[in-house]
Amino acid sequence: QKEVEQDPGPLSVPEGAIVSLNCTYSNSAFQYFMWYRQYSRKGPELLMYTYSSGNKEDGRFTAQVDKSSKYISLFIRDSQPSDSATYLCATYAGGTSYGKLTFGQGTILTVHP
């Protein structure tokens, strides 16, 4: 079993739709949760960062973490064609695991006009 599971999609939605991206993880030591966006032929860029459980909102993006169910979500409101990319969830335990991110497989998202 992979430590972080993510539905690879692909996911195709019309412009303006609400997008929900999800990951589950198995290691209860994970404390830090991130979402990265990766455009084709580019490196991942950090979108959202959350520590422990809770919600975090940044513009059209909302990240949710539920540590009791080991579930991570990213919501994109009013999706735009420019949101078309691969979205990667990532987690990190902290402590001696300094900097060692564990990634999900990535979900390919296409937003069509």
Partner 1 sequence: SAVISQKPSRDICQRGTSLTIQCQVDSQVTMMFWYRQQPGQSLTLIATANQGSEATYESGFVIDKFPISRPNLTFSTLTVSNMSPEDSSIYLCSVEVGPRVGDTQYFGPGTRLTVL
Binding site for partner 1 (CB under 8 A): 6, 8, 32, 34, 36, 41-46, 49, 51, 88, 90, 92, 94, 98-106
DSSP structure class, residue 82: G
- Name which of 17 and 84 has its Cβ closer to partner 1: 84
The dihedrals phi and psi of 99, each to the nearest 5 degrees, come to 75, -5
CB of 31 to partner 1, least distance (A): 9
Please identify, using beta-carbon distances, which residue of 17 and 103 lies nearer to partner 1: 103
| Residue 28 DSSP symbol | T
**In this structure, are residues 67 and 53 in contact, taking their beta carbons and an 8 Å threshold?**
yes
